[in-house]
Chain A
């Protein structure tokens, strides 16, 4: 481990000269490089240990880890996370670290009008410690009466390296506000958010497991292209005490699994734009008819106008 103050003089001059321009007043907080850098942490100065940003490095970049670490540091210095909704990671002490992953089996009933979708997935937890992370709340779940939750084991199972392991299969309906401003070229990041019911962020932190988000290989949603999956871990600040006077800590660790979808381009080109282009060309044809044929010339754009109204309403 290096502190940032130790790290900068060693590497900044020949790896990234511009780094020194940050100035002597810059308070960098704590930075940790693991011996073999697969991930890179940065803690905001004066913040809770749990408010730490982590950047995972892809495997192929391991050979370039040093340079990349400096770049990551530069990025984090420029774009420091804001208070109250910050990235979290496995900090040095205090909160129990729970590595969490998801395997998506199905997404169905994607309802743009109701702003919801159904998901069927496996979720697993791997942790060291006495606190059981299984008592979770799906933050954006709706119609919870219809959800099914089946745990892997009745009691957590001990696995390699002293980790405890358990998980569940969950099927239920989730809320997602679909933004249709870019329809029919809209992309959506539908999400499944998890928080612990019992333990706030200073007791338990959910972190993305290695390759935390998987989608079943044959999985498809008719009418949509699936672009990929990712996960992010953050602190979720509740700005109320829920009526519990004296309660001060209302931050909970939140892990979000994101699935990226978009409509196929063919839908826009063939189903929406092509008929419109034909109508446009037919209307323009009016300007190529002899000017003395007024009836024929006027009827084409009028037909085009009616067709356009019909296409828009359909």
Chain B
């Protein structure tokens, strides 16, 4: 495992997180249909995206340093 492989590992983890979130939200929207609180879900999605991006950037910086 070289440094670049570690970075790829972080990216795989991030993509897995995105897919997990998308499936979870998709199921919820399908289940609740019109009663689903779309605005809250979208807000949480954006927050999740920021968290994932921040965690990935931090991980890469730690690995590189």
- Find the A residue at minimum CB distance from B49: A287
Q: Which residues of the other chain, A, contact B46 by a CB distance below 8 angstroms?
A: 287-288
Q: Which residues of the other chain, B, contact A212 by a CB distance below 8 angstroms?
A: none
Docked Cα-Cα span, A185 to B7, in Å, equals 12
Q: Does A107 contact B (CB under 8 A)?
A: no
**A185 close to B3 (CB less than 8 A):** yes
**Chain B nearest Cβ from A45, distance in angstroms:** 40
**B12 close to A298 (CB less than 8 A):** no
How many interface residues does B have (CB within 8 Å)?
Answer: 32
**A284 close to B22 (CB less than 8 A):** no
**A279 close to B18 (CB less than 8 A):** no
Q: Which residues of the other chain, B, contact A308 by a CB distance below 8 angstroms?
A: 8, 11-12, 15
**A298 close to B3 (CB less than 8 A):** no
Q: When A182-B2, A284-B53, A308-B12 are in contact, do A291 and B18 touch as well, CB less than 8 Å?
A: no
Q: Does A213 contact B (CB under 8 A)?
A: no
Q: Which residues of the other chain, A, contact B26 by a CB distance below 8 angstroms?
A: 291, 294, 297-298
**Chain A nearest Cβ from B11, distance in angstroms:** 5
Contact of B18 among A185, A186, A273, A286 (CB under 8 A): A286
Docked Cα-Cα span, A272 to B53, in Å, equals 18
**B29 close to A292 (CB less than 8 A):** yes
Docked Cα-Cα span, A297 to B41, in Å, equals 14
Q: Which residues of the other chain, B, contact A292 by a CB distance below 8 angstroms?
A: 29, 38
Docked Cα-Cα span, A284 to B21, in Å, equals 11
Q: Which residues of the other chain, B, contact A304 by a CB distance below 8 angstroms?
A: 15, 18
Docked Cα-Cα span, A162 to B18, in Å, equals 76
Which A residues are within 8 Å of any B CB, using their own CB? Answer: 180-186, 272-273, 276, 279-280, 283-284, 286-288, 290-292, 294, 297-298, 300-302, 304-305, 308, 311-312
Which B residues are within 8 Å of any A CB, using their own CB? Answer: 1-5, 7-8, 11-12, 14-15, 18-19, 21-23, 25-26, 29-30, 36, 38, 41-42, 45-46, 48-49, 52-53, 56, 64
Task: Provide a sorted-by-A list of 30 A–B residue pairs whose CB atoms are within 8 angstroms.
Answer: A180-B2, A181-B3, A182-B2, A182-B3, A183-B2, A184-B3, A184-B4, A185-B3, A185-B64, A276-B8, A279-B11, A280-B14, A280-B53, A284-B49, A286-B22, A288-B49, A290-B38, A291-B25, A292-B29, A294-B26, A294-B30, A297-B26, A298-B23, A301-B18, A302-B19, A304-B15, A305-B12, A305-B19, A308-B8, A311-B8
